[in-house]
Amino acid sequence: MVQSILISFIKVYRLSFSRVLPPACRFHPSCSQYAIEAISIHGPFKGLRLALIRIFKCNPLFEAGIDKVPIGDKK
């Protein structure tokens, strides 16, 4: 339930705000796609925590590049 609500909010963001903002994500996959994958794999609480850590890393102090969602220790 919480998982689907969080993913729905992210999808609304991607269809609205994300379309009018210039692309700025320094990682692949994008931060919103990473959040959807993290929440889907690890559940709403750990997935949201992983997504927030990823968003905080999206700045010049961290190296950009490919950053996949960790698979181990599911839910």
Helices assigned H by DSSP within the chain: 2-15, 17-20, 31-56
Asked if residue 75 has pLDDT above 70, the reply is no
Residue partners of 37: CB distance under 8 A and separation at least 6: 29, 69
For residue 74, pLDDT over 70 is answered with no
- What is the tens place of the pLDDT at every residue in 17-71? 878 888 778 899 999 999 999 999 999 999 999 999 999 998 889 888 999 999 9
pTM score: 0.87
72: pLDDT strictly greater than 70: yes
Q: Provide the token pair at 8.
A: 């729905």
For residue 44, say if its preceding peptide bond is cis, omega within 30 degrees of 0: no
Predicted pLDDT of residue 73: 64
**Which burial class, exposed, middle or buried, applies to 13 when counting CB atoms under 10 A from its CB (0-12, 13-18, 19+)?**
middle
Q: Which two tokens stand for residue 57?
A: 């890393």
